[in-house]
Amino acid sequence: MTGRWRAAGALFGALALIAVTGCSAEPGVTPTGDVTEVTVTVQGMHFIPDVIEVPAGDELVITFENTGTDMHDLVLATGLETGHLAPGESHVMEVGVISADIDGWCSVGNHRAMGMELTVQVIE
């Protein structure tokens, strides 16, 4: 069973990566070749930080650590998601080259309405 889950996870990851590669190469943004790495944690019903500033053209890698006491996830408007993470678990998300602002939120229960939102913000 565990093996099957892993295989499914690997397949999903591969598909997600293809989706990112396919969508993020927008014309008008020259990839800088730099990577912005950010660690996002949970405090109560908030993401810390809740604004992630990324230079246009940088690749973004988010490490989401569930430092809260409930189940949480991180979903991006691009369709990427970490999947549900129990307290203490973490997940690395390769968002790809950033060319526009992206909203993010927690999809568990009503957490988004309670404040679990963040924004990836492009800076020049």
Question: 């790495």: which residue's tokens?
Answer: 37
Q: 24, 47, 66, 72: which one contacts Cu ion (CB under 5 A)?
A: 72
Choose between 54 and 72: whose C-beta lies nearer to Cu ion.
72
Q: 74, 75, 116, 120: which one contacts Cu ion (CB under 5 A)?
A: 116
Q: Is the peptide bond before 87 cis (omega within 30 degrees of 0)?
A: no
Residues 28-48 as b or e (16 or more Cβ within 10 Å = b): ebeeeeeebebebebeebbbe
Which of the ranges 1-9, 24-32, 95-103, 108-116 carries the binding residues for Cu ion, by CB under 5 A? 108-116
Choose between 20 and 106: whose C-beta lies nearer to Cu ion.
106
Tally of CA atoms within 13 A in the half-sphere of 2 that contains its CB: 0
Residues in region 77-106 near Cu ion by CB under 5 A: 106
Q: Would you count residue 108 as binding Cu ion (CB under 5 A)?
A: yes
